[in-house]
Amino acid sequence: MSLLIFIGIACPVILLFRCFQSYQAKKEVGDILLKGYRKGVYDVIISFLNFVTFFTIFEYGWQYSFMLFLLITAALEYISRAYLGESGLKINGKFIEKDQILRYRVVEGSLNEVEFIIAGKDDVRVTFTKKTYSGGLETVLHQFLYN
């Protein structure tokens, strides 16, 4: 039982730290060109911890556990957001400088899913849902990468 309590306390602390990292990375991006999301393994791990936290706290009162569950879910949504800005790309709380992005390609069969090829890292797929500048997705991406 003490392991469950430890996980129930550690999960929100880790989540708070990741939210802070995500906020810092979003500030580094600069003016935002495109907004979207990327789901990954990190979300699965945190969702599991979220589930464990929910049932750990549930023993001490359902009102608090439900509120904590909603807060953690909102934090996960905030962390999983992706932003393409003038200075680089923010993905899952990490900032990738513009210089590290080698190229991009729009995923075949999709209008808004883009795969970025990043120096020294695995390829990253992002689904963009909003753009803040006029022009098509390809136009905004081309201007971002080659200007």
Closest CA to 72 of 136, 7, 13: 13
Query: How many residues are listed for the chain in this entry?
Result: 147
Task: Identify each DSSP E strand in the chain by its residue range.
Answer: 32-37, 81-85, 88-91, 94-97, 101-106, 113-118, 124-131
Quick one: which of 130, 122, 138, 131 has its CA closest to 40?
122
Q: For the chain, what is the radius of gyration of the CA atoms?
A: 18
C-alpha span between 20 and 36 (Å, rounded):
19
Residue 6's pLDDT is what? 76
List the one residue out of 94, 91, 95 whose CA is nearest residue 80. 91
Sign (positive or negative) of CA dihedral 109, 86, 34, 40: positive
Residue 95 CB burial class (10 angstroms; 0-12, 13-18, ≥19)? buried
From first to last of its 147 residues, the chain has per-residue pLDDT tens of: 577 677 667 777 887 888 898 889 999 999 888 888 876 655 666 677 667 666 666 666 666 666 667 777 777 777 778 899 999 999 888 899 999 999 998 888 877 888 898 988 888 888 888 776 667 888 888 888 887
CA 136 to chain centre: 23
